[in-house]
Structure 1
Amino acid sequence: MSGRWMSVEEMAGYLGVSKDTIYGWIAKREMPAHKVGRLWKFKSDEVDSWVRAGKASDEDNDQSVGDAQGSEKRTSERKR
């Protein structure tokens, strides 16, 4: 799937988050997105790099993202 153009819905499914989270990341986290007419499109390889660089995680993320981070943190703490 590397490098292909994806819609908001496809990207949300790809990353396992809601469409609202995607729109929030575009506005607040400088998620790599390209506006084509009225639609947002994404290159999966650009988004993969953005995620790997840690840009999707931040203490100031919206509530849904914060909840996911807290859950992930609790899970990793239990594994120690």
Structure 2
Amino acid sequence: MTEPQAEPWVTMKDAQEHLGVSRDTVVDWINHRGLPGYKIGRFWKFKLSEIDNWLRLNADNSRDVERGVNA
């Protein structure tokens, strides 16, 4: 029986492309909205499954931000 492979860590650029937003937006979401990201030295690392889960849990707040409502 083989062990399941661990999900790989991805870079800031990968997270940006996955979300379709700029680096500044990703950093803002980490600092102000709780986007899960881990700073290792000077590099940010992410798990795409954590980002996707965060998006699902925060979908209502994201819509409020798009409408200009402070969430």
> If the length of structure 2 is used for normalisation, what is the TM-score?
0.72
| Counterpart check, 1:33 vs 2:33 | no
Q: What RMSD over aligned residues (CA atoms) do the two structures have, in Å?
A: 2.4
The separation in 2 between residues aligned to 1:15 and 1:4, in whole angstroms, is: 17
Report the residue type matching 1:27 in the other structure: N
Distance 1:9 1:17, change over 3 A: same
> If the length of structure 1 is used for normalisation, what is the TM-score?
0.65
Give the counterpart of 2:54 among 29, 37, 50: 50
The separation in 2 between residues aligned to 1:6 and 1:32, in whole angstroms, is: 12
Identity %: 39
- CA offset at residue 28 of structure 1? 0.5
The answer for unaligned runs of 5 or more in structure 2 is: 1-6
- CA offset at residue 4 of structure 1? 2.3
Give the counterpart of 1:7 among 6, 11, 14: 11
| Structure 1 partner of 2:3 | none
SS at match of 1:41: strand
- CA offset at residue 58 of structure 1? 5.9
